[in-house]
A and B are shown apart, each in its own frame.
Chain A
Amino acid sequence: MPEQLIWGMEVFVNGLMAGVLYALVALGFVLIFKASGIFNYAQGVMALFAALTLVGIMEGQVPFSHLINAVFGTEIHHFGWHVPAFLAIIFTMLVMIALAWAVNRFIFRHLVNQEPIILFMATIGLAYFLEGVGDVMWGSDIKKLDVGLPQGINLTIDEFTFNLFEYGFFIDNLDLWAALVAALLVIALVIFAQYSKQGRAMRAVADDHQAALSVGISLNFIWVMVWSLAGFVALVAGIMWGTKSGVQFSLSLIALKALPVLMLGGFTSIPGAIVGGLIIGVGEKLFEFIMSSDALAGQWFGFTISATENWFAYVLALLFLVFRPQGLFGEKIIERV
């Protein structure tokens, strides 16, 4: 087999792994959009905030220590304990639930029946707010996050593919784990939505707010629940990305990676988020591989381009949408005058 093809296969598999991570972020968007029609731009910042809180709890950091020290002239930084990862994740989840409650109580309860764009803007405001709070609470330095996930090349795959093609594929263990966790998460979410009482209520709300209200479903409860679920998804995404690059500001920018996934998959479809994520992940990695390779693009077009990943996903989604405006799995838009 020509080596370009083998390399292409390696890139393809890595693209799938990256796609799973994108899908993970996109999932949080879909959950909230389905249940409340809110396009939650703050999802990325929520991932950052969750990861910051997790590290803070694990390391026993004193929240707001910088502010406290500045105001009272004290010198406190740490409680001096270390919380095991599992417990810390539970505590972080509690914080995210509290956040979900606060978001609904103080923001979206006042914005019922507003236009979608207004709701969207409110989430951008929320993003700024959370970013500031996260910084003041836990400090803006880089933090190492280690919850015991393995990292580095997976040797089994390396060996296996080496025997097959005489070229060992590189797959990051962390990516494999992320894929596994994402798969479990999706299955759990689908089971929850299909079979539990709350899940059914959630779907009812997504279908029709008014009708759901009239059969006695508490909208408030469902919204808090959905935001908590989105918070949980954000936490998982935050752990995966945070393990990779350390927990820091740039984590909040992963939301931008999820937007084309949403366009492609449709804003309202959980399978759409997964499939869209995979398509985007594979597409952008393969495009970059082909376009930056002298042997491929160099031969075919006479030039190479690189660092295309920031825009390729968007352009792909844009072209796709021109042919199918509601996305891959989105609901057909029916308009009446």
Chain B
Amino acid sequence: MIYREAGDFKTSYVDDSQTFPIRFDRYGYYAALVVAFAIVPFVINDYWVNAVVLPFLIYAIAAIGLNILTGYCGQVSLGTGGFMAVGAYACYKLMTAFPDVSIIIHVILSGAITAAVGVLFGLPSLRIKGFYLAVATLAAQFFLVWLFNRVPWFYNYSASGQISAPEREVFGVAITGAETAPWAAYLFCLVFTVLSALIARNLTRGMVGRKWMAIRDMDIAAEIIGVNPLRAKLSAFAISSFFVGVSGALFFAVYLGAVEVGEAFGINKSFLVLFMVIIGGLGSIFGSFAGAAFLVILPVFLKIALADHAAVSPVSNALATLCLAIFGVALLLFLAHLVLRVFGRRLWKDLGALCGIVALIAFFAYALLSGGLGWPTDIVAHVQLIIVGALIIVFLVAEPHGLAQLWRVAKEKLRLWPFPH
């Protein structure tokens, strides 16, 4: 019902194979772009840019990169952090060596350098598969981090080994450094993210992408039908590393401004990006965005809901009380459902799940509306770990194909709604 497909005719193959074949989707996509480019820059502030939006955009590029390698070509990599470091250090060296060249070129070149490094570390993938490869990519992770920490040339012999991005401008607007306006940094990263997504999307549905997927599904079979595994795998490593390198460069230059390689590009980064890809959905560009958004927003959201405490208006206080009441009722029903289950009875099939979800939403709505619960920060930090861990498990159990699959299912349902068939 929401999707009106009636009258949406295609008269050519090009029309039929476009990214958003349904008109409603297509307009939604255009609208999102317009909002992102024309409206958001005017309303965005420092906090949103630095705490949520920049990390989201940059991680989305990294997730797209890893998704090409892992989701499309089936090569699991735990070296993402190391490759991001290559991008960051390449960008730093370029920025300091050629201060007159535009930073746009620096970022792209950093991606290219990372691609070369990626191919080098991708060579073993021709012989090693599966977990062995995953662990082998850790060699890249540890070796690269050690290298950047150890060889002073990479950090221009500074006393502490930190690299700091010097101030650079694009069209006269500061992009890096302290004086950067939030909208400038945002737009700069947004352009890279959108371009990355466009390129990745078109690569993955073309010949290259189909070769990757053939390798992923069964490499021997792919070889028999004429896919060269050497070229397919190495091209996946190269292109994936290119995106990861670009994201590393942006991460360092635009987002953080100064990094220390062991802290910023450690193994946790590799895991984080892999989580994004898995939670978002393997083999889906949209999934890369969804996964990045989820894992960037969740900790911030939990912190705001649980740890902060701020005075709020009476209206939202009243609403909070209402939410608390809803939470109480839902929780009671949920418990009742559990007790009944013990006796082998139930009131209604989906009662438990429904009440659980309502209770959860009501609880967080209460927490937010009352300005945060003000719990001790260490407990919140621990609870955060527990929740993130539990969510990953729940996701894998409930929907192993990630947020992208949920989105697909939702879309399918919406196309039919309200008719059952």
Q: Do chains A and B touch in the complex (CB under 8 A)?
A: yes
Secondary structure type dominating chain B contacts: helix
* Contact residues of B between 264 and 292, Cβ < 8 Å to A: 267, 271, 274-275, 278
Point out the residues of chain A lying under 8 angstroms from B221, CB to CB: 337
Residues of B with C-beta under 8 A to A260: 135, 138-139
Which chain B positions have C-beta within 8 A of A262?
135
- Interface check B393, CB cutoff 8 A: yes
Q: Are A129 and B376 in contact (CB under 8 A)?
A: no
Is B386 an interface position by the 8 A CB rule?
Answer: yes
Contacts of A87 in B (CB 8 A): none
For chain B residues 381-398, which have a beta carbon within 8 Å of chain A? Answer: 382-393, 396-397
Q: Is A311 a contact of B139 with CB atoms below 8 Å?
A: yes
Q: Which of B143, B146, B267, B397 counts the most A-chain CB atoms under 10 A from its CB?
A: B397
| A314 on interface, CB distance cutoff 8 Å | yes
Of A119-127, A163-171, A200-208, A239-247, the one contacting chain B is: A119-127
The contact of A321 among B136, B218, B379, B387, by CB within 8 Å, is B136
Interfacial chain A residues near B378, Cβ < 8 Å: 66, 140
Bound complex: CA of A315 vs CA of B144, how far in Å? Answer: 11
**Which A residue's beta carbon lies closest to that of B398?**
A110
Instruction: State the CA gap A67–B267 with chains docked (Å).
Output: 30
Query: Mask for A270-312, Cβ within 8 A of B = 1, else 0?
Result: 0000000000000000000000000000000000010110110
Partner of A263, one of B136, B218, B267, B275: B136
Assess whether B39 is interfacial by the CB under 8 Å rule: no
CB of B139, distance to nearest CB on chain A (Å):
4
Indicate if the CB atoms of B389 and A132 lie closer than 8 Å. yes
B386 touches A133 (CB 8 A): yes
Q: Most chain-A Cβ atoms within 10 A of its Cβ — which of B128, B384, B388, B391?
A: B128
Cross-chain contact A126 with B389 (CB below 8 angstroms): yes
**Interfacial chain A residues near B278, Cβ < 8 Å:** 117-118, 121
Q: A314 contacts B138, CB within 8 Å?
A: yes
Write the residues of chain A forming the contact surface with B, with a CB cutoff of 8 angstroms: 39, 66-67, 70, 107, 110-111, 114-118, 120-122, 124-133, 135-136, 140, 256, 259-260, 262-263, 267, 305, 307-308, 310-311, 314-315, 317-318, 321-322, 325-327, 333, 335-337
Q: Which residues of chain B have a CB within 8 Å of any CB of chain A?
A: 76, 124, 127-132, 134-136, 138-139, 141-143, 145-146, 150, 218, 220-221, 224, 267, 271, 274-275, 278, 375-376, 378-379, 382-393, 396-397, 400
A-B residue pairs in contact (CB < 8 Å), sample of 22 = A66-B378, A115-B400, A116-B130, A118-B278, A118-B396, A120-B134, A122-B392, A124-B275, A124-B392, A125-B393, A126-B393, A128-B385, A129-B389, A256-B138, A307-B150, A310-B142, A314-B138, A314-B139, A314-B141, A322-B127, A333-B129, A337-B220
Kindly list 4 other residue pairs between chains A and B, CB separation below 8 angstroms, not including A135-B385, A263-B135. Answer: A70-B376, A70-B379, A118-B396, A326-B132
